[in-house]
Amino acid sequence: MTDLPDPDPDPSPLEGLRIREAARALIIDPDDRVLLVRFEFPAGTRWALPGGGREQGETPVETIRRELIEEVGLRGVEVGPHIWTRLHVIAFIDGRWDGQREQIHLVRAPRFEPAPVFTAEELAAEFVFEIRWWTLAEIRASEAVFVPRLLGEYLGAILDGHVPNAPIDIDV
């Protein structure tokens, strides 16, 4: 009898999945408000950080710069440290992806009114239907669904000055 190698006892749960690489920004203004976009999916409404999928050859910072122009009309800001990492495994509506891995960077921005470069139709094609500023108190008092789900806790830590030295994994 030939000795065969043991099968991998702990295969990667992501093996064979098509994971989209993405980057998002935690944009905080001088009034400690955070800018969120409202996504309307068949499964429900989600308020999330602006950003999106990385294009071929793009770094996460380049993705954030492009997405901030397209989605909120923000240009010329410094993209700060990579503070959070998030992996969400869920089939995308278009069937191309099985999930998304996000790098989330801190962006301190001046006060501004969002003015997306994308038209309302282009935003709707990406399931984006509203952009607005939120305070921490509004997030904590809201019954809305936020992404990440514990955004109020994570944002509170950042506003208290607890910016991580290395990215931390956050929930879905």
Whether 12 is covered by a domain: the verdict is no
Domain of 86, in residue numbers = 19-169
Q: Quick one: how many helices (H) and strands (E) in the chain?
A: 4, 9
Is 134 a domain residue?
Answer: yes
β-pairing verdict for 44-48 and 51-53: unpaired
If the chain, 172 residues long, is cut into consecutive pieces of 10 residues, what is the mean pLDDT of each piece? 43 64 96 96 89 93 96 96 85 58 95 96 90 98 95 97 93 69
d(CA 43, CA 22): 21
- What pLDDT, on a 0 to 100 scale, did the predictor assign at position 72? 96
> Which residue, 69, 75, 66, 76, is CA-closest to 23?
66
21 CA to centre of own chain: 11
For the chain, the domain total comes to: 1
Rounded Cα distance, 60 and 79, in Å: 10
**Looking at residue 42, which CATH number applies to its domain?**
3.90.79.10
Q: Does some domain include residue 2?
A: no
Is the residue at 155 inside a domain?
yes
> Is residue 86 situated within a structural domain?
yes
Gap between the Cα atoms of 54 and 15, Å rounded: 20
